Amino acid sequence: MTVGRRVRRIRTERGISQEALAGAVGVHRTYLGGVERGERNLTLRSVERLADRLGVPVRELIGDGPEG
Amino acid sequence: MTVGRRVRRIRTERGISQEALAGAVGVHRTYLGGVERGERNLTLRSVERLADRLGVPVRELIGDGPEG
């Protein structure tokens, strides 16, 4: 599962809207949509901010294998 | 420990020179030096290439906590 799909899964499990999560990490909602579709090559700092806001360790967002 | 320090530790454990690793992942040696000093905000694809070349899972390079 890509980082983006994990972000979407955890975000929806926690009932956080795309708008709210995007705002919390300082990106536009459409950018986050691209992240969740696996269209963005995130930096580690972005992943850290997302993990922090979702309340999960970075490792929970990072899998092994090529990012889809 | 930051991603950069883990890259350095694993690289030196495996006796791989900075030059060789940089070449294998398609970056300049000085760029890799900056990575190992924690001065670079790596993208996930760069981390994947490094992990792949070092023969470790991505998770072994990614810790939890802010990247120093």
Residue B68 is predicted with a pLDDT of 41
- How distant is the Cα of B13 from the closest Cα of chain A, in angstroms? 22
Cβ contacts (< 8 Å) between A58 and chain B: which residues? 62-64
| Residue in B47, B57, B59 closest to A44 by CB | B47
B45–A41 C-beta distance less than 8 A: yes
The confidence band for A1, taking pLDDT boundaries of 50, 70 and 90, is: confident
The confidence band for B64, taking pLDDT boundaries of 50, 70 and 90, is: low
**CA pair distance A66, B33, nearest whole angstrom:** 24
Cβ contacts (< 8 Å) between B52 and chain A: which residues? none
Where do the domains of chain A lie, and which CATH numbers do they carry?
A: 3-61 (1.10.260.40)
Per-residue model confidence as pLDDT tens digits over B15-47: 999 999 999 999 999 999 999 999 999 899 999
Task: Check pLDDT > 70 for residue B66.
Answer: no
- In SS3 terms, A35-52 reads as HHCCCCCCEHHHHHHHHH
The residue-averaged pLDDT of B10-17 equals 97
DSSP 8-class letter at B16: -
Q: CB-based contact (8 Å) between A56 and chain B?
A: no
Per-residue model confidence as pLDDT tens digits over A15-43: 999 999 999 999 999 999 999 999 999 89
Pick the residue with more confidence: B56 or B63?
A: B56
Q: Is B21 helix (H, G, I), strand (E, B) or coil?
A: helix
What value does the mean pLDDT of chain A take?
Answer: 90
ipTM exceeding 0.90?
Answer: no
| Residue in A42, A57, A59 closest to B44 by CB | A42
Task: Check pLDDT > 50 for residue A67.
Answer: no
| Residue in B43, B57, B63 closest to A64 by CB | B57
A45–B43 C-beta distance less than 8 A: no
DSSP 8-class letter at A26: T
Tell the burial category of A23 from Cβ atoms under 10 Å away from its Cβ (0-12, 13-18, 19+).
middle
